[in-house]
Amino acid sequence: MPARPALLRQEPMSLDLTDLRLFVHVAEAPSLTQGARHACLSTAAASARIQQLEAQLGKRLFYRSSRGMALTASGQRLLTHARRVLRQLDHLTHDMAGDDDRAGHLRILANTTAVTELMPAVLGEFLAERPRLTIDLRERLNHEVVRGVEQGSADMGIVAGPISTAGLERYHFSTDRLVLITAPDHPLAQRQNVVLEDLVEDFHVGLPDTSSLMQFLTRRFESVGAELKLRVQVSGFEAICRLVAAGVGVGVIPESAALRHRRLMTLALIHIDAPWATRERSVVVRNAAELPGAGMALIEALMAFGRTDQPPKA
């Protein structure tokens, strides 16, 4: 009987963590140049490292074109694993530091209101107590927040309103509502309540089209066969309130923001009689038990803020 051929012993794959971090930066950036900059490498060095990684894996990770780089199916799979590996490495590093609650790094995705109104109020004291903690807070649409948490590009996300978060842990921490604001002499200023159809003839002052609130409102107007007529778009709620107070148009913004700015300018606030105007705020995570200590501490800080946050009186 002929001798059986010896089994070839396959060497275990050894991936460089620097290459994995670079790969994630490039995958999440709009271009190789931007990804290289985030990784503190030259574009040429980053390109060479990506090519070496592809050769090592025997897989093409990016489609390259004049418009930039797009992930292949293999690249998408690697991105999922790379994020998980790097996240666990970060958690390990912070756990071994012995002061996990006050150090480390958190990646957070949040909708417009959370980025501009909520998180500044919460993070001031939270970060002051944790001088070695850094946070990467980025604005995204609600569905992009959920997808980012699912895919591992964020440790946690903050969403508002009705949105599916199946497969994620969701922690409700506060409730806000959208209200109509007008100048005091506007025809709707004396009303106690309005419905969406009352707002379709007015010109509005709003946020940029890319904001989650603006896209949400646009869909609500489309649901009643109307167009959200925008006269001017600005970057924040304070600017909206100033323009509305000057009679430029009306606006729909969170009540908490409207009440705060009404202390400094003359505005009328009118209740919107619709279930969608009530906005439940929640934190979403994949698994709270896997968060670094600072992550769990931030969830607790948000929950505490929600218990004590009362809209300021006019």
* Interatomic CA distance for residues 163 and 154, integer angstroms: 18
Q: Is 18 helix (H, G, I), strand (E, B) or coil?
A: helix
At 313 the pLDDT is 44
In the chain, CATH 1.10.10.10 sits at 17-78
Please list, in sequence order, all residues whose beta carbon lies within 8 angstroms of the beta carbon of residue 94, skipping any fewer than 6 positions away: 100, 103, 104, 292, 293, 294
Fold of 17-78: Arc Repressor Mutant, subunit A (1.10.10)
Q: Residue 215 CB: number of other CB atoms within 10 A?
A: 17
- Name the CATH architecture for the domain at 175-278: 3-Layer(aba) Sandwich (3.40)
Question: Within the chain, which residues score under 50 in pLDDT?
Answer: 7-8, 10, 312-314
Could you please state the CATH topology (level 3) that the domain comprising 91-174+281-308 is classified under.
D-Maltodextrin-Binding Protein; domain 2 (3.40.190)
Stretch(es) of the chain classified as CATH 3.40.190.290: 175-278
Report the SS3 class of residue 283.
strand
User: For the whole model, what pTM was predicted?
Assistant: 0.68
- Would you say 115 and 136 are in contact if contact means Cβ atoms under 8 Å apart? no
CB-facing half-sphere around the CA of 279: CA atoms within 13 A: 24
Paired sense of beta strands 278-285 and 156-160, if any? antiparallel
Task: Write down the pLDDT at residue 314.
Answer: 41
Report the greatest alpha carbon distance in the chain: 102
Question: What integer pLDDT is reported at residue 98 of this predicted model?
Answer: 54
pLDDT of residue 309: 64
